[in-house]
A = this chain, B = another copy of it.
Amino acid sequence: MKLADLPTPALVVDLPTFDANVGVMADRWPGPRLRPHVKAFKSTALARRLAAAGHEHFCCATVREAEGMAAAGLGRDLLIANEIVGEAARRAGALAATARITVAVDSAATVEAAASAGIGEVLIDVDCGMARCGCTPDEAGPLADLARSRGLSVRGVMGYEGHLMRVPPAKRQQRVAALGPVLRSVLERTGGDVISGGGTGTWLDNDWATELEAGSYCLMDAEYVPHAPAFGNALLLWTTVISCRPDRAVVNAGLKALGMDHGNPVVVGAGTCGYVSDEHTTIVRDPSVPLAVGDQVALVPGHVDPTVAYHERLYVADGDDVVDVWPVDLRNW
Contact = CB atoms under 8 A, between A and B. Distances in A.
Given A7-B87, A294-B109, A309 B243 contact: no
Interface in A233-285: 240, 242-244, 248, 250, 252, 255-256, 259-261, 274, 276-280, 282
Given A85-B294, A303-B255, A312-B332, A132 B162 contact: no
Interface residues on A, range: 35 or more
Interface in A214-243: 240, 242-243
A132 to B, nearest CB: 5
Contacts of A309: 255-256, 310
A133 B279 CA distance: 12
A132 B280 contact: yes
Interface of A: 7-9, 39, 61-62, 82-88, 106-107, 109-110, 113, 131-134, 162, 240, 242-244, 248, 250, 252, 255-256, 259-261, 274, 276-280, 282, 292-294, 303, 305-306, 309-312, 331-333
A88 B252 contact: yes
B306 A255 contact: yes
A110 B260 contact: no
Contacts of A133: 242-243, 250, 280
6 contacts: A39-B279, A83-B250, A88-B240, A110-B243, A133-B243, A162-B277
Contacts of A7: 86-88, 333
Question: Could you say how many copies of this chain the assembly holds?
Answer: 2
B292 A278 contact: no
A248 B133 CA distance: 9
Contact of A61 (B61, B86, B279): B279
A31 to B, nearest CB: 25
B293 A85 contact: yes
A325 to B, nearest CB: 14
B305 A242 contact: no
Contacts of A311: 332
Contacts of A276: 261
Contacts of A134: 243
A82 B242 contact: yes
Contacts of A9: 333
B240 A279 contact: no
A243 B278 contact: no
A254 to B, nearest CB: 8
A142 to B, nearest CB: 16
A22 to B, nearest CB: 21
A62 to B, nearest CB: 6
A208 B67 CA distance: 53
Contacts of A131: 248, 274, 282
Scoring A131, A244, A280, A306 by chain B CB atoms within 10 A of each residue's CB, the highest score goes to: A306
